Chains A and B, each alone.
Chain A
């Protein structure tokens, strides 16, 4: 399985600011996914990011709030914009081919004050 790293591992931010989370994979992958895990909750898919195309967002998530970049086959970023305390969560990236097993990164713990 691929080795996935995320930066930052954790951050504390002020409301109204934005944070960009990076996800780096040690091999080329077709699909990258971004998930949110709110405190005490399970994982919810935010969007799917394919290289060379616009990200596909799930219901309840919009590009203005969570812009995503996928400049190449090993890297993606997720920005959490205009943050509020409700955005405090763990943000996880995962990788996997079409209808294949997904492997997850270590996550980014975000606290918004």
Chain B
């Protein structure tokens, strides 16, 4: 059974204080690992897809990396508008590969 665990559950940062969010996963065969951002009362907004160990992707202050067991979302010099819940999900290879298995999310709060 595919499993995704995110840590920490909640993270408070001061504006400009860089940090990382962790996503540990177990999956039979990884097709892709996805990062989403979710603001309160809204649907998840797609950020990145990572397909293989060693892959990195960047978008503004966010950088996602992937190993065979975990992914990190690095936030550099965050701003208050980066406050949101960040969700990690995995998709397995094969017939069940349509399904996304989500972690519990990390609620990020950035104070000015």
Could you tell me if A106 and B43 are in contact, using CB atoms closer than 8 angstroms? yes
Q: Within 8 Å of chain A (Cβ to Cβ): is B31?
A: yes
Taken residue by residue from 59 to 102, chain A's Cβ proximity to chain B (1 for < 8 Å, 0 otherwise) reads as 00000000000000000000000000000000010101011011
- B-side contacts of A99, CB under 8 Å: 31-32, 91, 93, 97-98
Q: Shortest beta-carbon distance, B47 to chain A, in Å?
A: 10
- A-side contacts of B103, CB under 8 Å: 42
> Which residue of chain B lies nearest to A42 when distances are taken between CB atoms in the complex?
B102
A44-B34 Cα distance, complex, nearest whole Å: 15
Q: Shortest beta-carbon distance, A8 to chain B, in Å?
A: 14
Main secondary structure of the interface of A (DSSP, over half): strand
A82-B102 Cα distance, complex, nearest whole Å: 27
Q: Shortest beta-carbon distance, B100 to chain A, in Å?
A: 6
Taken residue by residue from 20 to 42, chain A's Cβ proximity to chain B (1 for < 8 Å, 0 otherwise) reads as 00000000000101000000011
Q: Shortest beta-carbon distance, A102 to chain B, in Å?
A: 6
> Which residue of chain B lies nearest to A48 when distances are taken between CB atoms in the complex?
B98
- A-side contacts of B97, CB under 8 Å: 98-99
B contact residues, total (Cβ < 8 Å): 23
Q: Shortest beta-carbon distance, A36 to chain B, in Å?
A: 11
Taken residue by residue from 87 to 111, chain B's Cβ proximity to chain A (1 for < 8 Å, 0 otherwise) reads as 1010101000111101111000000
Given contacts A43-B87, A43-B100, A98-B97, A92 and B43 within 8 Å (CB-CB)? yes
A99-B34 Cα distance, complex, nearest whole Å: 12
A contact residues, total (Cβ < 8 Å): 24
- A-side contacts of B31, CB under 8 Å: 99
Cβ contacts A to B, 25 pairs, < 8 Å: A4-B43, A31-B98, A42-B102, A42-B103, A42-B104, A43-B44, A43-B87, A43-B89, A45-B99, A45-B100, A48-B98, A48-B99, A58-B99, A92-B43, A92-B44, A98-B98, A99-B31, A99-B32, A99-B91, A101-B46, A102-B34, A104-B36, A105-B43, A107-B41, A107-B42
Chain A residues proximal to chain B, CB less than 8 Å = 1, 4, 31, 33, 41-45, 48, 58, 92, 94, 96, 98-99, 101-107, 109
